[in-house]
Chain A
Amino acid sequence: MTTDAQDRPDFLALVLLLPTILLLLILFVGPVAFAFYLGFTNIRLIGPTAVHFHLNGLVNLHHLYGDSLFWLSLKLTIVFLMVSAIFGVTVVGLALALLMQHAIAWLRAAVGAIVVVAWMLPPITAALVWYAFSTTGGTLSLLGGSQLDVLNTFPMTVVCLANIWSTAGFSMLVLSAGLRQVSSEVLEAGRMEGASRWRIFCSLTLPIIQPTIVTNILLVTLLSLANFSLIYIMTAGGPGNATDILPIYSYQQAFVFNKLGYGALLGDVVVIIATIFAYLYVRMSRSSRLTHA
């Protein structure tokens, strides 16, 4: 490190961090904290308690505990995150990143572009595209005889697939960067020793990119949690409650039923889930003795 002005760094650091901290506090942390507070009030979007609302103690919490739809929603959210984000997006992203490495140049460019376009598409378009894809007469339904309504028969599956499709591009980019950290000398050495491709991958590549994978899992989970628009426009939680994951249930309570307080509380649960994942990430990073991915 530099030798002069050892006592200045902290002040300077603060000045550099100030824009970030201010912006985050006012436009991010502040609203989230306010939303937390709202979760314990009886505020409605419109109605007598729209403007004149007050804290109502643990009433909302009590309702949450007894709300069977909440527990269903929680379960669906966990399933969604496990299957689609943690497993699906990571595996697909990793597969793509690996296959990209030794592919024909034009194929690499073409597939890369397609996958990234899928990621870039605005959620409203992606939702309509997937609705068309998976209902009767759509491409996916042609697999089962064109009258099959895949979306309404296997709604959670379709929603998970749609999430994978729209997030895999991001995962592929992160994992590609991680794969670049695997030096070719190490891999050459493995080949020289006659190890099979799979063995090389498991024993050499995987350990090196493990931190990247862990980071990728965290980010993809957070992104999937936030991927509200796509699923809401596709199914709005339906049919029935089949795809009513927490972000959607929370939106419905707050903005369709106008129960803003309860909806905010459900949103708080989403924030808690995100926090748990972040905490797990820190634990896993620590245990692999990392300071950065």
Chain B
Amino acid sequence: MTQLLASQPSAVARMPFEPASSDTRSSAEIRAYVIGNGLLGLFGILFLAPLAWLFFASVDANATWALSWPHFTLANFRQVTRGDFLEALFNTFLLSLVATAVSTVAATFGGYALSRRRIPLSDELMVAILFLTGIPVAIMIIPVFQVYAKYNLLNLWATGVFLGVSSLPFALWLIKTSMDAVPKELEEAATMERANVFQIIWNVTVPVALPGIFSAMIFSFINAWGSFLPPLVLISDPDQVTGPIKILGLIGSADVRYGDIAAYSIVYSIPVVILYVLVSKPFSGGFSMGGAVKG
């Protein structure tokens, strides 16, 4: 499994119950092995079950919300890879990019400050910031709209900033805790070589805290990718509309295009899945400190 979140970068990597050799495998262990995998497989099926409709409806010419054997067609997929749907996909990508950049940069510097520097009440501050995660976005949307309207910021970019800010609390917590785990000796070594703070952060702390930072990036990206209410309210230019809003648009008052919704949802989910697969691979093993610190 992946190692997306911060952890002690030490000896952990192995499977605790993997038998050393076949002769020492007892029947109890084999039983446990089979049951364990069986249970996991069951979970897999349970989680896959709701998605069955998605796949069926996407290739169904007469899709409704009921699960039915499809009249196979690719028309739905053709419909949702038209110009404006693809443009919405691209817009979502830009939006998520901006949100991730804003969130990660601010959280990296802020996390470093909270982790490394003596700030009064930093624990309380951290928890206060963290609980902001639970505030429903609908509460904030009107004041934010008014501010944005006043400064002519009702566009994709400013919405991306807002989404970055909405995932900032959690990103901050993730990065701060992963920086906490970076041994101070590494930085002391760099300070002794007369590096300034920014050099230390960029060259020493960030590389070691990278799993945590990447986790924060993924979280921010996914948060922005699936975001629905802020783009709906804050974006006024129809060319800047994002994916979830396009899906909403397929629910009209005279007709609900379930086939298109399913097809577009699949198309829309693929980039995030690819991203996840790409980013999770480098972290599936542990990593070593090399010879950075002596003694």
> Which residue numbers of A lie inside 8 Å of B, CB to CB?
1-2, 9-10, 12-14, 16-17, 19-21, 23-24, 26-32, 34-35, 92, 95-97, 99-104, 107-108, 110-125, 128-133, 135-140, 165, 168, 173-174, 176-178, 180-185, 187-188, 197, 218-219, 221-223, 225-226, 228-229, 247, 250-251, 254-255, 260, 264, 267-268, 270-271, 273-275, 277-278, 281-282, 291-293
Q: 7 A-B residue contacts at CB 8 Å? A: A20-B172, A32-B139, A100-B40, A102-B16, A111-B43, A115-B44, A282-B124
B132 and A124: CB pair below 8 A? no
Interfacial chain A residues near B127, Cβ < 8 Å: 278, 281-282
Bound complex: CA A27 to CA B141 (Å): 10
Bound complex: CA A26 to CA B75 (Å): 46
Q: Is B204 an interface residue (CB 8 A)?
A: no
In-complex Cβ contact of A110 among B44, B165, B172 (8 A): B44
Interfacial chain B residues near A137, Cβ < 8 Å: 66-68
B247 and A122: CB pair below 8 A? yes
In-complex Cβ contact of B177 among A1, A180, A271, A293 (8 A): A293
B36 and A13: CB pair below 8 A? no
A219 and B118: CB pair below 8 A? no
In-complex Cβ contact of A20 among B37, B49, B109, B215 (8 A): B109
Report, nearest first, the 3 A-B pairs whose CB atoms are least far apart: A222-B134, A274-B134, A278-B131
Bound complex: CA A129 to CA B119 (Å): 47
B44 and A133: CB pair below 8 A? no
Bound complex: CA A254 to CA B6 (Å): 40
Bound complex: CA A251 to CA B51 (Å): 28
Interfacial chain B residues near A268, Cβ < 8 Å: 139
A219 and B110 in contact (CB under 8 A), knowing A12-B197, A229-B229?
no
In-complex Cβ contact of B33 among A102, A140, A174, A270 (8 A): A102
B135 and A16: CB pair below 8 A? no
Distance (whole angstroms) from the CB of B67 to the closest CB of chain A: 5
Interface string of B151-179 (1 = CB under 8 A from A): 00000000001101110111010001100
A107 and B44: CB pair below 8 A? yes
Closest A residue to B107 by beta carbon equals A20
In-complex Cβ contact of B131 among A108, A123, A176, A277 (8 A): A277
B1 and A176: CB pair below 8 A? yes
A278 and B66 in contact (CB under 8 A), knowing A104-B37, A118-B47, A270-B139?
no
B134 and A184: CB pair below 8 A? no
In-complex Cβ contact of B114 among A17, A187, A188 (8 A): A17
Residues of chain B at interface, number, CB under 8 A: 111
Bound complex: CA A137 to CA B137 (Å): 34
B41 and A132: CB pair below 8 A? no
Distance (whole angstroms) from the CB of A270 to the closest CB of chain B: 6
Q: Is B117 an interface residue (CB 8 A)?
A: yes
In-complex Cβ contact of B5 among A21, A174, A222, A277 (8 A): A174
Closest B residue to A108 by beta carbon equals B1
Interfacial chain A residues near B41, Cβ < 8 Å: 107, 111
A267 and B170: CB pair below 8 A? no
B269 and A117: CB pair below 8 A? yes
B67 and A132: CB pair below 8 A? yes
Interface string of B42-55 (1 = CB under 8 A from A): 01100111111110
Interfacial chain A residues near B130, Cβ < 8 Å: 218, 222, 278
A228 and B138: CB pair below 8 A? yes
Kindly specify which of B77-85, B271-279, B287-295 makes contact with the partner chain.
Answer: B271-279
Interface string of B202-227 (1 = CB under 8 A from A): 00000000000001000000100111
Closest B residue to A96 by beta carbon equals B43
A31 and B40: CB pair below 8 A? no
